[in-house]
Structure 1
Amino acid sequence: QEFNVTAHPAIKAFMCGSLSGTCSTLLFQPLDLVKTRLQTLHSNMKPGSSRVGMVTMLRSVVRTEKLLGLWKGISPSFVRTIPGVGIYFSTYYSLKQHFFQEGRPGALDAVLLGGGARTVAGVFMLPVTVIKTRFECGRYSYQSVTGALRSVCRTEGPAALFSGLMATLLRDVPFSGIYVMFYSQTKASLPKEISSSSSAPLANFGCGVMAGILASLITQPADVVKTQVQVNPQLRTAEAIRIIYMEHKLQGFFRGAVPRALRRTMMAAMAWTVYEQMMAQMGLKS
């Protein structure tokens, strides 16, 4: 309790972000696993054959790996998300306090704040992101996060832990920037009686859902490329783009769009809602 009182505001933002990330990751991990499986599915089906969709993949995972198989990769997801979301929100809070102590950030300012915070968190947590993607794709038999990190360093070299860095940043930085812009602008347009009422958290969550859908669809192609590079570290970003297009045409860049949009939208909306409520409880302006 004494720590909470005397802690630096950025540390409080880190704690709030970490807790919100823990809740959202536990709830929506199955959607991330299905998204990764769809994106790494190399099918030899002939043209005209039925496509594998989100529901089919869900059933397949449950049938072959039981219900808990939907939470495969939860360990690296926690290792990445708990500190990662904390780093994101503490960086966001620090940048906002440093550059916008007075007044509300505009649309472009919100893009820069969200993108800057995501860049810091994304680079710092990329090795765990690589391991998480490999856990979820089902091609690797890692037993633990630390074991996977050691295995990759030993067999592929430390550089493999940063595979897909460019694709990851091309996905996450625009997503965060676009999300924060839409979220902040939509929330600011709410009537004052709603913003100050007890239903404000629900209204903010609705704003987050709208912002998440738009940001997810815009950045989906970069997510597909990122997944391919991290699962196949011998591929370069440009080569992965070429292969995806040659095998699946433009629709290949939107594989896994539905589960990713659902997961990213709900996770972001929940994370921001929990973060803002906790910051308000601590007497801090988020």
Structure 2
Amino acid sequence: MSSEPQANRYKGTRTQVVTAGAVAGLVSRFCIAPLDVLKIRLQLQYHSRADPLSTSIRRAAGVLDVARNIWRQEGITGFWKGNIPAEGLYLSYGAVQFLAYRSTNQAIDALAAKGDVTVPGTVKSFVAGAIAGTAATTATYPLDLLRTRFAAQGTEKVYTGLLASIRDITRHEGPAGFFRGLTAGVAQVVPYMGLFFAFYESLKQPMSTVHLPFGSGDAVAGVTASVFSKSVVFPLDTVRKRLQVQGPTRSKFVGGARIPVYDRGVMGTMGMIVRREGWRALYRGLSVSLIKAAPASAVTMWTYERALHLLQGMKTVE
């Protein structure tokens, strides 16, 4: 009886898992879109320690300053810039992620049964989470890049629309332009998703006794797992955002005129940020990221569990 909730996530049918994951992604994105724009704007702030005219990192625009600037200069719609590709990203990412997670769990179970060995639940969750994150990140990365670039647009329009952005990137940067920073994305998501699912599965059962308005401890387990995992890998997220706005349109994005050209890979970019801006620059926007991660993960996991349960119930009725 106690193992049933943990098993449900990858014991549903393929269609049920894909549908539940997609719904969870859409709902989550809708809730945290403004925080996502704020985080990206903060990550693209550039401060050079070698430039005496540069604003001190301690005086750099904070969350409230960035929010006020967006409100005054771009209006309320500015908080939802990049929402169209982001909705597509969360929709497809959620579906691919949970499908890959389910399939990997089943494959591990089959291999363990064939070899007559027992795989610890935490190890299985880590491996399945890492593989699921890698698959989802790679498959949806062009949408992630478009989301970042639209969110980084200030009052100056870089792209007039989604189709125009695709044409422009294809024409001036080629297919590879859609995958700028992919290495950083994969390097980030492997430990993040592995740690997230491992901690989530470990915390879900103990948290099942916690009573919330939502009806279970799924949200608490999701929040705790996400906050810890996000903090560990956040520097790679900053590197990914800096790399995503590279290219011929770099200077047109918010903060892009000051952001240098990064052409030495993930570690080279990270090293350049530390040398020029200090290690604190790698964590710029972390507070917003954690605030975003908590409701996003809680809503994602809660919605996924309920959607999957509902779909399974509909099948039973039929």
TM-score range, shorter chain: 0.7 to 0.9
Matched, 1:259 2:292: no
Equivalent position to 1:226, from 232, 240, 244: 240
Could you tell me which residue of structure 2 aligns to residue 16 of structure 1?
20
Matched, 1:213 2:227: yes
CA 1:200–1:135 in 2, change beyond 3 Å: closer, same or farther?
closer
Q: How far apart in 2 are the matches of 1:221 and 1:110?
A: 24
Between 45-54 and 267-276, the greater mean CA deviation after superposition: 45-54
- What is the CA distance between 1:51 and its match in structure 2? 2.3
Could you tell me which residue of structure 2 aligns to residue 4 of structure 1?
none
Matched, 1:277 2:310: no
Q: How far apart in 1 are the matches of 2:84 and 2:55?
A: 37
- What is the CA distance between 1:126 and its match in structure 2? 0.8
Q: How far apart in 2 are the matches of 1:97 and 1:35?
A: 36
Could you tell me which residue of structure 1 aligns to residue 199 of structure 2?
182
CA 1:181–1:48 in 2, change beyond 3 Å: closer, same or farther?
closer
**Contact kept in structure 1, 2:207 and 2:221, CA below 8 Å:** no
CA 1:106–1:61 in 2, change beyond 3 Å: closer, same or farther?
same
SS at match of 1:265: helix
**Higher RCO, 1 or 2 (CA under 8 Å, sep at least 6)?**
2
Could you tell me which residue of structure 2 aligns to residue 149 of structure 1?
166
Q: Deviations for 1:212-243, whole angstroms, at most 9, x for unmatched residues?
A: 11011001100000001111146232332132
Task: Kindly provide the amino acid, as one letter, of the partner of residue 57 in structure 1.
Answer: V
Equivalent position to 2:82, from 53, 65, 73: 73
SS at match of 2:98: helix
**Contact kept in structure 2, 1:10 and 1:91, CA below 8 Å:** no
- What is the CA distance between 1:119 and its match in structure 2? 0.7
SS at match of 1:282: helix
- What is the CA distance between 1:79 and its match in structure 2? 1.5
Q: Deviations for 1:136-159, whole angstroms, at most 9, x for unmatched residues?
A: 112662222232122101011111
- What is the CA distance between 1:96 and its match in structure 2? 1.8
Q: Deviations for 1:136-195, whole angstroms, at most 9, x for unmatched residues?
A: 11266222223212210101111111110110011122111111111110112246xx38
- What is the CA distance between 1:107 and its match in structure 2? 1.3
Could you tell me which residue of structure 1 aligns to residue 33 of structure 2?
29
- What is the CA distance between 1:71 and its match in structure 2? 0.7
Structure 2: segments with no counterpart, 5+ residues: 1-11, 48-52, 248-260, 314-318
Matched, 1:95 2:99: no
Q: Deviations for 1:251-272, whole angstroms, at most 9, x for unmatched residues?
A: 0110110111121232122111
Task: Kindly provide the amino acid, as one letter, of the partner of residue 21 in structure 1.
Answer: G
CA 1:84–1:97 in 2, change beyond 3 Å: closer, same or farther?
same
Task: Kindly provide the amino acid, as one letter, of the partner of residue 15 in structure 1.
Answer: T
Q: How far apart in 1 are the matches of 2:219 and 2:212?
A: 13
Structure 1: segments with no counterpart, 5+ residues: 1-7
Between 177-186 and 241-250, the greater mean CA deviation after superposition: 241-250
Give the percent of matched residue pairs that are identical in Structure 1 and Structure 2. Answer: 23
Aligned pairs, how many?
A: 274
Instruction: Look at both structures and tell me which one has the larger radius of gyration over its CA atoms.
Output: 2
Between 263-272 and 60-69, the greater mean CA deviation after superposition: 263-272
Task: Kindly provide the amino acid, as one letter, of the partner of residue 222 in structure 1.
Answer: L
Could you tell me which residue of structure 1 aligns to residue 60 of structure 2?
51
TM-score normalised to structure 1 length: 0.88
Matched, 1:60 2:69: yes
**Contact kept in structure 2, 1:25 and 1:267, CA below 8 Å:** yes
**Contact kept in structure 2, 1:17 and 1:88, CA below 8 Å:** yes
**Contact kept in structure 2, 1:167 and 1:226, CA below 8 Å:** yes
TM-score normalised to structure 2 length: 0.80
Matched, 1:123 2:138: yes
**Contact kept in structure 2, 1:175 and 1:219, CA below 8 Å:** yes
CA 1:48–1:121 in 2, change beyond 3 Å: closer, same or farther?
closer
**Contact kept in structure 2, 1:216 and 1:265, CA below 8 Å:** no
- What is the CA distance between 1:105 and its match in structure 2? 5.5
Task: Kindly provide the amino acid, as one letter, of the partner of residue 69 in structure 2.
Answer: S
